[in-house]
Structure 1
Amino acid sequence: MGASCCAGPCASEKPPADSAYRRVLWVALLVNGAMFGVEIVAGAAADSVSLKADALDFLSDAANYAISLFVLGAALTVRARAALVKGLSLGAVGLVVAGNTFYNALAQAVPGAEVMGAVGLLALAANVGVAALLYAWRDGDSNRRSVWICSRNDAIGNVAVVLAAAGVFGTGTGWPDIVVAAVMAGLAVSGAVQITRQALGELRDTNRPAAGALPL
């Protein structure tokens, strides 16, 4: 049988070159790398678990964009495997954030609301800008979907961080910070499940022989 006999997209199928998408990924990578540095320092200074969680999210996303750039234009199987790695990594980040959130719930530290609010607004502006740039490429294979899901979740998470800052300021307790960190952990795990499920489906499709194809 010819090489064109594939069930669904062929494992060797490559997407057309997309220079605009590549440029957007580079912008997203640089923005997320810079914001990781800002938030990890601010999270430590403010003793905010939600800022630390968001910093880890920025780091995870920077790695996500770097991997996406590396496999851009590769065969579907390669892109699906990359997405699978990203999905599992995102799930691990979610579990780490959940563990830190549980620890802070026991420690009952009260974070600095002013730092949380200022850095949260900066991170929100960065993530909304990146999400807006990536919106046109929100559909497609699991690798491309993983980029959009992470960017969308980041924007949602930053709205929650700003609300947490207001809650900490208003109540004088760390509970709003803890609740938001828990929500962000849930978003990470949920996104990981979506990405992993689609990546596994694509790998199954590319490895499934076409109906009627003769075995070698």
Structure 2
Amino acid sequence: MTNPTPNEQRWIAALDELRNCADLHVTRDHQDGPDTDAPDARSVFGTLAEQDGVALAPALQACYLRFDGLGACWGFGEEESDPLFAGEFNLLPLVQAVRQQPPIERYPYASPPQQEIVAELRDFDGTPMTGAGHVTSLRIKRGGVHNPEIWFSDNPLGFHRLDIDLCGYLDALRVTKGTFGWQYLFTDVSLADENYEVTAEFLTEMLDVFPELFPQHDYAPLRARLEARL
């Protein structure tokens, strides 16, 4: 493996935090690459602009990851088969994500305005190991330099725009470790609604437990967001 960038080192450390935490049951994790010949962020962003017509904001290069894949699946609680809360993430390489087809079949009942959004979505994080059905997508537009919107899907509860960009998403993902439903902290959804009862319980448990398990991270901003949505 080539020398990891500071951003990649933070992600390697995040996986180590999961693996080395005796209180979590990590059922699967993977970190693929980066290989010695993996292109850097500037090269990749140039390729996407020239070959795909997708010009991403240069600021996003700071959080670019050269991994061919990165993910983990875990649970917290005495019973591995019935955890108090759990999580999963599975990040795709940026180029692979951008070149995917839009997930039109996932939203068969989307309204015409929603269809316009769906046509520009490209999945980059999901839950394939558990089949939880949580998917996060970039809204990719062609023409002009842009910072893609981030959209979260939780079928059958629809999809929601997050009020963070890609770098903000990745920062929050490292802290939450992919706890199921953490993305709702960055939406305008009321977690007091009965449809989000389990999500609210998971996030409450996470914010009670993680500050003790991972004291190197600051959970106060996430706690404030949860309180604002309950």
Calculate the TM-score normalised by the size of structure 1: 0.28
**Structure whose CA Rg is larger:** 1
Higher helix share: 1
The answer to which structure has the higher strand fraction is 2
Higher RCO structure (Cα 8 Å, ≥6 apart):
1
